[in-house]
Amino acid sequence: MRILHIVHRSWPYHGGSERYVLEHALASGRWGHTSTIFTTDAWDMSWLVSGKGRHMDPGSTRHDGVEIRRFRVLHPPAQSLLRALLRRTLAGGPDRFYYPNPFVPSMAGALRRLSGRFDVVHANAMPFALFHGHRYAVRNGSVLVSVPHLNDGEKLRRIQPLHYFAGRQPRILRESSLVVAQSCTERERYIEHGVDPERILVLGSGIDPGDFEGAEPRRARVRFGIEGSSVVLSLTAHSLDRGSLDLLEASRALWERGMDFTLVLAGPVMDDFRRELDSRAASLVRESARLIVTGYVREEDRADLLASADLVVQVSRQDAFGIVLLDAWASGRPVIAGWCGGMPDIVQDGKNGFLVPFGDRTTLAHRMGLLLGDRVMASGLGETGRRMVLADRTWKHVTDRFYSRLAEVGQGDTGGGR
C-alpha cells in the first residue's frame, strides 16, 4: 500500500508525535508498503501561527527511504480576525482554525493534485492535519487512520481541549477506518463522541534500544555544565501545563531543606514558563548553580543527558503519552509522572516509578526526596521499567501492532466517509 502520513512537524525535529509518525513511516517498508510524509516548514511551534521562530526550507527530501515534503506556512495579516471569520464560514472551521493550527494552502493544493495516489492516509496530531486527511480519503476512497494524540488532562480533572471537538473532529473520528489512541483514557473520550470501540486501537509509543547504547553521562555534564552528584531531569517543551513551574517550586522546597541536586530543564521554553522564570530571576540567583535551562536538545545529546540523570520527572497534564518515560527506563532511570494521558497506563505506582496529581507540589517534592535519598529504591524502579520497555515497548513492537491492524482494516473497509 502507498501510505501518506500528515503531521505538523517532522524529521529532523524529534518531538513525541513527530517521532511517532516517522517511526511508522520507516517501518512501513518492513511490511511491503511505501511512505510519504506531508508536513510544514515549522521548527518552532511559534512559526505555525506567528511567523516568529525557526523554520526549515520548504521542498522535498528523503530520510532512510521515506519522502518528506515540507509546505510553507503562511502568516496573513490581521490573523486573529481572519481566523474568527473562517471559524464561522468554512468546513471544519471551529476546530481547524483555532490556534495553533497553521495556514498551509500549498499542502491542500498538493493533495488535490495527487488525487488517487495514496491508498492509506495516516493523519496525526492537529485538526488541520486530520481535516486534510479526511477530505483526501473521502474524495479518493482511501483508508483513513486518525491519530489525534489528544490529551485533555487527568481522567477526573479534564482541561478544555482548545475547541478540539467544536467542529468536524467528532465526525472525522467516527468516519475513520481506524482511530489510534495513546491511552485507555483517550479511548474513552472518543467513545463518548460516538466512535465505534471496535475501530479504536490503543497503541502508545516506543523506543529504539540502540539509541541508548554507548550513552556517556560525562559528555552531557560537560556540554551542559552540570555539576554536583545528583541530577533531576525534565525533558520536554517547558510550560505551565507541562508542570515545569511545579517541578521548579518542588525543587526549591527540597533545596531549602538541604538536599543537594541539580535540576536540569531540558528542551524548548514556552512563553508562559519563560515569564515565570523571568519573574523569579532575583530569587533564583542563589540557586543558579543548581538550575540549568538548556533550551532545545539535539537528538545526538538526548541519550547522554538521560544517562546523566538520577531521576526523570514528567508531571505534565498535556502529554498524550509521555514518551520520555520510555526513554528514561531504557536508560535504567526511575521516573515520576503525572496522572494524565498515557502515563497511568505504563507507570505502576511504586513499582516502576511514581505518579502524582498535576499541581501537587507537596507530593511531588516528597517523591523526589524519596528517590534521591534511596539509591536502592531508585535503581530498582528504573530496572523494572527497563525490563518492561524492552519486553513490549520498542518501536518494532508498536509499529508491528499498527501494521497488523491496518492489514485487517484494509481487507474490508475503505473508511473515508462511510
Domain that holds residue 247: 209-392
Query: What is the spatial distance between Cα 318 and Cα 242, in angstroms, rounded to a whole number?
Result: 6
At a CB cut-off of 8 Å and minimum separation 6, what does 283 contact? Answer: none
Residues 124, 264 share a domain: no
Residue 312 confidence class, pLDDT cut points 50, 70, 90? very high
pLDDT at residue 413 in the model: 52
Domain for residue 243, yes or no?
Answer: yes
SS3 string of the chain?
CEEEEECCCCCCCCCHHHHHHHHHHHHHHHHCCEEEEEEECECCHHHHCCCCCCECCCEEEEECCEEEEEECCECCCCHHHHHHHHHHHCCCHHHHCCCCCCECHHHHHHHHHCCCCCCEEEEECCHHHHHHHHHHHHHHCCEEEEECCCCCEECCEECCCCCCCCCCHHHHHHHCCEEEECCHHHHHHHHHCCCCHHHEEECCCCECHHHHCCCCHHHHHHHHCCCCCCEEEEECCECCCCCHHHHHHHHHHHHHCCCCCEEEEEECECHHHHHHHHHCCCCCHHHHHHEEEEECCCHHHHHHHHHCCCEEEECCCCCCCCHHHHHHHHCCCCEEEECCCCHHHHCCECCCEEEECCCCHHHHHHHHHHHHHCHHHHHHHHHHHHHHHHHHCEHHHHHHHHHHHHHHHHHHCCCCCC
Residues 156, 234 share a domain: no
Residues 221, 143 share a domain: no
Residues 214, 159 share a domain: no
Residues 140, 57 share a domain: yes
Domain for residue 129, yes or no?
Answer: yes
Residues 282, 188 share a domain: no
pLDDT at residue 15 in the model: 85
Residues 232, 367 share a domain: yes
Strand partners for 238: 269
Residues 264, 387 share a domain: yes
Residue 414 confidence class, pLDDT cut points 50, 70, 90? very low
Domain for residue 361, yes or no?
Answer: yes
Highest mean pLDDT (candidates 12-21, 126-135, 290-299): 126-135
Residue 32 confidence class, pLDDT cut points 50, 70, 90? very high
pLDDT at residue 154 in the model: 77
- Taking residues 124-137, what's their average pLDDT? 96
Domain for residue 251, yes or no?
Answer: yes
Residues 311, 194 share a domain: no
Whether the pLDDT of residue 416 is over 70: the answer is no
> Largest Cα–Cα distance in the chain?
65
At residue 264, what is the residue type?
V
Where is pLDDT greater, at 244 or 16?
244
Residue 415 confidence class, pLDDT cut points 50, 70, 90? very low
Say how many domains are in the chain. 2
At a CB cut-off of 8 Å and minimum separation 6, what does 31 contact? Answer: 403, 407
pLDDT at residue 374 in the model: 96
Picking from 193, 148, 173, 163, the residue whose alpha carbon sits closest to that of residue 342 is: 148
CATH code of residue 12: 3.40.50.2000
- What is the per-residue pLDDT across 160-198, written as a single tens digit (0 to 9) for each? 776 888 899 999 999 999 999 999 989 999 999 999 999
Domain for residue 418, yes or no?
Answer: no
Residues 242, 201 share a domain: no
Domain for residue 123, yes or no?
Answer: yes
Domain for residue 417, yes or no?
Answer: no
Is the pTM higher than 0.85?
Answer: yes
Residues 170, 273 share a domain: no
Percent of the chain with pLDDT over 70: 97
Domain for residue 277, yes or no?
Answer: yes
- What is the per-residue pLDDT across 343-364, written as a single tens digit (0 to 9) for each? 999 999 999 999 999 999 999 9
Residues 246, 149 share a domain: no
